[in-house]
Amino acid sequence: MSSTEIDLHQQLKKYFGFSQFKGLQEQVITSIVNGHNTFVVMPTGGGKSLCYQLPALIADGTAIVVSPLIALMKNQVDAIRGISSEHGVAHVLNSSLNKSEVKQVKEDIVNGITKLLYVAPESLTKEENVEFLRSVEISFMAVDEAHCISEWGHDFRPEYRNLRQIIKRIGDNIPIIGLTATATPKVQEDILKNLGITDANTFKASFNRPNLYYEIRPKTKNVDADIIRFVKQNEGKSGIIYCLSRKRVEELAQTLQVNGVSAVPYHAGLDAKTRVKHQDMFIMEDVDVVVATIAFGMGIDKPDVRFVIHHDIPKSLESYYQETGRAGRDGGEGHCLAFYSYKDIEKLEKFMSGKPVAEQEIGHALLQEVVGYAETSMSRRKFLLHYFGEEFDEETGEGASMDDNVQNPKKKHEAQEDVELLLKVVKETKQIYKAKELVNTLIGKANALILSHKTDEHVLFGKGKDKDNKYWMALIRQVLVAGMLRKDIETYGVVKLTDKGKEYLKAPVSFMMTEDHIFNSITESEIKI
Ligand code: ADP
């Protein structure tokens, strides 16, 4: 089978009733149909499922779809069954099936009826399943939510690490397609390596959501009143408010209700019936606001959510992007407001203590990015997209004006000499330090690591002490985003010079910077000395 022999548009119309492909779908599908390993990075709602469903429906044999969430698998299977006259066209294979159900699934596969077989990674590790799948014709293997393979993804699942071995056992030449909505460059690299598809055709859609407005406000003890005011100003509009704890969800939902806002709570501690009820109330617009933990949102497709508020800052920018991404799906207004206090970062740090060291290091590095995002006074969109490995022009890019920093710009000042000094310090200290040590070196504060490398004896030590630590931290972040420095992921954030940075040292030019916001609640511990 090759795409040249098939009219993909005709198939799209036939199975899904759509007359056009969305974004990169057609290219992705062509790649799969032609038997190539394929890697797809698209934001949520981009239309990833169709990328493997359509090729599966038109291919010979059965496509295996690995997905971590049973609920989502069931939804997809129901949807596929709805578009085909054959009930057995899609099946789920998991441990909840009884013997006769498993027999039916296998029969349908053997008879060539089943085009899509959804499995959880755990089911794939079962010997009998592997043996069976070896014996039948498999068209390709789709690994959905592929970021689960990476410790740097927001939902690491160790079972995903075995997938490559299992796929190999099922068949040597089965094309693999990995799909994810969350991919920093490091996660992407992990996926390609772990799935053994470094040769994959890669399709990456932009993560820019031009209609979303990003705003960060300091979180004070009046945060509830601030939220009530915001919600009242947006009366009648649908919104989600995320809190870290179930208790806070309950309290805030009550506070809102008392203040005349129609709101319901949602968290995993509520019984299933209540959860479904509250979710439906939100979707059917019987209530305006859901106050929720992160348990809310997966698979919820309400296009006209007009605001997402973070009562507590999330633990990574992936989570932030994912959660704010639930606003404005229809392309209309979507206000993303987060309340930030450094104390919340410390709280999140505390949650991590006791975890394995590597996990803590990762968690810490991810949190530092959240701090950088919250405190920066540069274009938030640029910062966020840079984090996802994407360039964004803050003057001309789509949605460039849509954040608080761009709307209320801070004065910029010339920082050419400081950039030179910073880059020199990185170079002279042999590119071994993370941002914290670089700042300390600049302001002349020694710590154990600095002493052990005798950096305190270097001529550059303390050369930037006329400015404070916050100033230097802000500059480092802006120079990172400008691409003259980069954080090395393997070492959890050691700062390295890029070629662009080396060039700058040879031929420095003007660099206009803005200082970070100062949040009152930030404590000295921001830079732990
Ligand atoms: P993702 O998995 O990337 O989050 P989905 O596969 O759930 O996205 O698709 C998001 C929405 O887009 C779904 O409602 C789907 O029916 C719709 N969709 C997908 N492809 C098309 C298309 N070619 N034309 C119109 N709508 C589409």
Predicted local confidence at residue 192, as pLDDT: 96
Report CA dihedral (221, 222, 228, 233) to the nearest 10 degrees. Answer: -140
Q: Could you give the angle at the alpha carbon of 130 between the alpha carbons of 126 and 133, nearest 5°?
A: 140
Rounded Cα–Cα distance for residues 456 and 453 (Å)? 8
CB-based burial, 119-148: b 16+ in 10 Å, e otherwise: bbbebbeeeebbebbeebebbbbbbbbbbb
Q: What is the pLDDT of residues 179-202, one digit of tens each?
A: 998 878 889 999 999 999 999 999
Name residues of the chain where pLDDT drops below 70.
1-5, 299, 520-529
| Most ligand 1 atoms within 8 A of CB, residue of 15, 21, 28, 49 to mutate | 49
Nearest atom in ligand 1 to the alpha carbon of residue 18 is 24
**395 CA distance to ligand 1 centroid (A)?**
31
3-state secondary structure of 513: strand
357 Cβ neighbours under 8 A, 6+ residues apart: none
Q: Residue with the nearest Cα to atom 19 of ligand 1?
A: 47
Sequence letter at residue 387: Y
Query: What is the helix, strand, coil percentage profile of the chain, to 5?
Result: 45, 15, 40
Predicted local confidence at residue 179, as pLDDT: 97
Could you tell me the pTM of the whole model?
Answer: 0.84
Handedness of CA 118, 122, 125, 126 (dihedral sign): negative
Predicted local confidence at residue 527, as pLDDT: 35
**30 CA distance to ligand 1 centroid (A)?**
17
**407 CA distance to ligand 1 centroid (A)?**
33
Instruction: Give the strand pairing for 263-266 and 201-204.
Output: unpaired
- Asked whether 215 and 373 are in contact (CB, 8 A), the reply is no
| Most ligand 1 atoms within 8 A of CB, residue of 8, 22, 29 to mutate | 22
Predicted local confidence at residue 1, as pLDDT: 53
Predicted local confidence at residue 65, as pLDDT: 97
Q: What is the pLDDT of residues 67-108, one digit of tens each?
A: 988 777 888 898 898 888 788 999 999 888 899 999 999 999
| Most ligand 1 atoms within 8 A of CB, residue of 50, 53, 75 to mutate | 50
**42 CA distance to ligand 1 centroid (A)?**
11
Ligand 1: which residues within 6 Å by Cβ?
18, 20-22, 25, 42, 44-50
Predicted local confidence at residue 4, as pLDDT: 54
Q: Residue with the nearest Cα to atom 2 of ligand 1?
A: 48
Rounded Cα–Cα distance for residues 194 and 184 (Å)? 15
**43 CA distance to ligand 1 centroid (A)?**
11
Predicted local confidence at residue 299, as pLDDT: 67
**21 CA distance to ligand 1 centroid (A)?**
9
3-state secondary structure of 184: coil
Predicted local confidence at residue 94, as pLDDT: 86
Q: Residue with the nearest Cα to atom 9 of ligand 1?
A: 47
